[in-house]
Amino acid sequence: MVERILIIDDDVDTLRLVGLMLQRQGYQISAASNGSQGLAKAFEERPDLILLDVMMPDMDGYEVTRRLRKNPATAGIPILMFTAKTQLDDKVTGFESGADDYLTKPTHPTELQAHVKALLARTTQKRKTGEFKSELQEHPAYVIGVLSARSGLGVTTLASNLAASFLARDQSDVLLAELTPGQGTLGLDLGLPNQKGLTEILQGTVVEVTREKIQSSIVHHSSGLKLLLSSENPRDVNLVSNVQNFEALAARLASLARFVILDLGAGLPGFVQKLLPICHERIIVLEGMPSTIQHTKFLLDEISTLGIDHRNITVVLNNRQRSEAQMPWAQVQEKLGHSIAATITPAPELFLQAARLQTPAVMAQPTNMTSQQFLKIAESIIEREKAR
Helix (H, G, I), strand (E, B) or coil at 147: strand
- Among candidate residues 155, 238, 237, 228, the one with its CA nearest the CA of residue 192: 228
Residues 158 and 97 in one domain: no
- Rounded CA separation 333/328 (Å): 9
Strands 226-228, 174-178: parallel, antiparallel or unpaired by DSSP? parallel
- Domain boundary residue among 70, 99, 128? 128
pLDDT at position 330: 92
Same domain? 374 vs 238: yes
Residue 48 lies in a domain: yes
Contact 6, 31 (CB under 8 A): yes
Contact partners, residue 130, CB within 8 Å, separation at least 6 = none
Query: Helix 12-24 to helix 109-128 angle, to the nearest 10 degrees?
Result: 60
In whole angstroms, what is the distance from residue 33 CA to residue 19 CA? 12
151 occurs within a structural domain = yes
- Interatomic CA distance for residues 260 and 357, integer angstroms: 24
Identify the domain containing residue 277 by its residue range.
142-387
Strand pairing class (49-52; 4-8): parallel
- Residue 329: inside a domain: yes
Pick from 215, 148, 136: which is nearest to 175 by CA? 215
| pLDDT tens, position by position, 104-149 | 877 788 888 999 999 998 876 655 545 444 333 344 789 999 999 9
Instruction: Read off the pTM.
Output: 0.68
In the chain, the number of structural domains is 2
> CATH code at 207?
3.40.50.300
Q: Which residues of the chain have pLDDT under 50?
A: 129, 131-139
151 shares a domain with 115? no
Q: Are residues 110 and 160 in the same domain?
A: no
DSSP letter for 291, please.
Answer: H
How many C-beta atoms surround the C-beta of residue 181 within 10 A?
A: 26
CA distance 176 to 277: 18
Q: What single string gives the DSSP state of each residue in 254-289?
A: TTS-SEEEEEEEES--HHHHHHGGG-SEEEEEE-S-
Annotate 75-99 with b (16+ C-beta within 10 A) or e (fewer): eebbbbbbbebeeeebbebbeebbb
CATH number of the domain that residue 111 is part of? 3.40.50.2300
Tell me the three state secondary structure of residue 109. helix
Q: CA-to-CA distance for 26 and 47, rounded, in angstroms?
A: 15
Q: What are phi and psi of 309, to 5 degrees?
A: -70, 140
Give me the sign of the Cα torsion angle 206, 173, 140, 45.
positive
Does 361 share its domain with 256? Answer: yes
Q: How far apart are CA 230 and CA 240, in angstroms?
A: 11
119 and 153 part of one domain? no
Check residue 92 and give its pLDDT.
80
CA distance to 60, 224, 283, 382, per residue, from 102 (Å): 15, 45, 55, 55
Q: How far is Cα 165 from Cα 315, in angstroms, rounded to an integer? A: 18
User: What is the chain's length?
Assistant: 388
**Residue 325: its pLDDT value, please?**
67
Whether 357 and 293 map to the same domain: the answer is yes
136 within some domain: no
Cα of first residue to Cα of last residue in the chain, in angstroms, is 37
Would residue 68 count as lying in a domain? yes
Query: How far, in Å, are 15, 156, 172, 276, 280 from residue 283 at the CA level?
Result: 53, 12, 20, 10, 10
User: End of a domain among 94, 128, 162?
Assistant: 128
CA–CA distance, 157 with 360 (Å, rounded to integer): 8
Indicate the residue among 98, 128, 158 that finishes a domain: 128
**Whose CA is closest to 103, among 133, 70, 135, 61?**
61
Beta bridge partners of 226: 175, 220
Q: What is the pLDDT of residue 134?
A: 38
Does one domain contain both 158 and 121? no
Q: Could you tell me if residue 135 is inside a domain?
A: no
Q: Angle of helix 329-336 relative to helix 290-304, nearest 10 degrees? A: 40
133 domain-assigned: no
- 181 and 321 fall within a common domain: yes
Q: Does some domain include residue 343?
A: yes
Is 49 in the same domain as 147? no
Same domain, yes or no, for 105 and 164? no
Residues 170 and 109 in one domain: no
